[in-house]
Amino acid sequence: MKKVVLFIIILLCNISVYSQDVIEVVAKETCSCLEAKKAKNPNLSAEDFKVEVGVCMIKSYSDHLSEFKPEDKVNFDDDEGMTKLGESVAIKMLQFCPLVIMELGKNEIKDKKETQQQDLSLLGEVVDIKWEQFVTLQLKDKNGRNYNLLLLDSFDTASLLTNNEIKKKDKLKVSYTEIELFDAKSKEFRYFNILSKLERQ
């Protein structure tokens, strides 16, 4: 189901050669189904709305399955086939309910941003702590890879650093985010690891 929802959002130019008349019917019915669900529950969450898109499209497709040419019928476990079907239906939906497609697109972009902003985590040993304009915590993971992590924001356990409670050789679990900042030394934008949580191990 989740795959079907994502496929609907992907609007590519290479449209599959489906029976356009029945695709148009499926698109119209999917639009009507979604509009009815939104009217019934205007506070539908973005995630629930995406699920409903898949439910509405699959119901209409199933209702009109006999109208599809044999070569155009798709099994629900056929990822490539479902992708092409979703693209074709979505492009037709733009004619009948463009606001729905726009809302789906905005939600997808928002979801991607939120996913990208999720904290990363790391287990390692403290190699050094540099006190310059910003505090830099240097860690080495179990594979011997070194990480430089900046303390830029306040968080609950930041005091472990600011109060000098962390020493070299300490074992830590840290959470951090990757943020693109301008590096004055290299005069270019690059990614920095920004600390968001510290835990002793």
The CATH number of whichever domain residue 125 belongs to comes to 2.40.50.140
Site of tokens 């287990």: 123
Euclidean distance between CA atoms 115 and 17, whole angstroms? 34
If you ran DSSP here, which 8-state letter would residue 155 be given?
-
Do 53 and 141 lie in one domain? The reply is: no
Give residue 30's pLDDT band: very low, low, confident or very high (50, 70, 90). Answer: very high
For 138, the domain range is 120-200
Beta bridge partners of 150: 136, 194
Do 147 and 84 lie in one domain? The reply is: no
Length of the chain: 201
Do 112 and 129 lie in one domain? The reply is: no
Listed residues 116, 142, 157: the one ending a domain: 116
Number of domains in the chain: 2
Q: Phi first, then psi: give them for residue 137, nearest 5 degrees.
A: -100, 125
Whether residue 110 has pLDDT greater than 90 = no
Whether residue 58 has pLDDT greater than 50 = yes
pLDDT (0 to 100) of residue 7: 46
Nearest to 30 by CA among 78, 85, 93, 81: 93
Do 102 and 68 lie in one domain? The reply is: yes
Do 167 and 96 lie in one domain? The reply is: no
Comparing 22-26, 49-53, 124-128, which segment has the lowest mean pLDDT? 49-53
Euclidean distance between CA atoms 18 and 137, whole angstroms? 57
Beta bridge partners of 123: 173
Do 132 and 61 lie in one domain? The reply is: no
Site of tokens 């798709």: 74
Do 96 and 176 lie in one domain? The reply is: no
pLDDT (0 to 100) of residue 111: 59
Written as six digits, the tokens of 4 are 């079907």
Q: Is 65 exposed, middle or buried (0-12, 13-18, 19+ CB in 10 A)?
A: exposed
Whether residue 195 has pLDDT greater than 80 = yes
Do 125 and 196 lie in one domain? The reply is: yes
Listed residues 116, 140, 155: the one ending a domain: 116
Do 15 and 66 lie in one domain? The reply is: yes
Listed residues 85, 116, 147: the one ending a domain: 116
Do 97 and 187 lie in one domain? The reply is: no
Whole-model pTM?
A: 0.47
Question: Mean pLDDT over residues 93-108, rounded?
Answer: 78
